[in-house]
Amino acid sequence: MKTYIVGNWKLNFTVGEASIYLHKLLKNLPNYRDVEAVVAPPLIALQPLSLQVDRHKLKLAAQNGFYRDYGAFTGETSYTQMRGMADYAIIGHSERRYIFREDDKMVAKKVAAAIRNRITPILCIGETESERAFGETADVIRDQLIGGLSEVSDDDLDKVIIAYEPVWAISSVKAAKLATPDEVAEVVKLIRKVLKETYGAEFAESVPVLFGGSVNPSNAGAYLTVPGVNGLLMGGSSLILKEFLDIMETAKRVRS
């Protein structure tokens, strides 16, 4: 199974800045065989960067998209329109859930739309600090996982990636705390248990599970060695060229 290093640029970089950064990244990024490098630029930069990117070294992801393919939906962009530009799509990110109020039904529609348009969804799930404090982690993970996959057919389950990102550990959250490798291992084990009970052992064992939560070069190695973790979803470190390259190199070392 591949190791995935996914950088979410969020609301950063103009189109020009994104192009310059991508040029520098491609110039310095080796072509790793078993480590997939992915960046998710702002939507406005996705199209021009798709013409610039070397897909042998790096893939592009969409940060968001609409679940309908066409229609009278002013201001939205569909996954159909991103086909051929984005290889992956981040869906259900905590900022979409908690700032923009996207629920599991909306997330499920977007997951299905991405698959329909041959874009691999990275389904993000994770509990808040209060949910964890009240012992609700297992219920939240189960609900978001099953809810997010509810419109995916059995034949398409192998087209999904899961990302565990505890909201309380994301660097953009006030007073964020670092998740320990043991805490991550506990939830990743839970994720695979829920998937096994719902979809069977084969899918539970084969689906890639990523971790995201204040990932940086100093802790990337520890998270990548957590049993059942197949990669990282990061924010701030993906905006700093050296840090992104360092994490890629760490992933290569862990992989080998």
93 included as an active-site residue: yes
Q: Which helix (H) or strand (E) holds 59?
A: strand 59-62
From 93, 95, 102, 243, active-site residue: 93
Nearest Cα to Cα of residue 43 among 6, 12, 84, 4: 12
Residues 6+ apart with CB under 8 A from 224: 3, 231, 232, 250, 251, 254
pLDDT mean over 123-150: 97
Per-residue pLDDT of 65-116, as tens digits, reads 999 999 999 999 999 999 999 999 999 999 999 999 999 999 999 999 999 9
Per-residue pLDDT of 18-65, as tens digits, reads 999 999 999 999 999 899 999 999 999 999 999 999 999 999 999 999
pTM of the model: 0.96
Q: Which helix (H) or strand (E) holds 8?
A: strand 3-8
In the chain, where the domains are located: 3-255
From 127, 151, 165, 243, active-site residue: 165
Q: Could you tell me which CATH class the domain 3-255 is placed in?
A: alpha beta
165 included as an active-site residue: yes
Give the Å distances, CA to CA, from 223 to 121, 141, 164, 250.
22, 19, 12, 11
pLDDT above 90 for 185:
yes
| % of the chain surpassing 70 pLDDT | 98
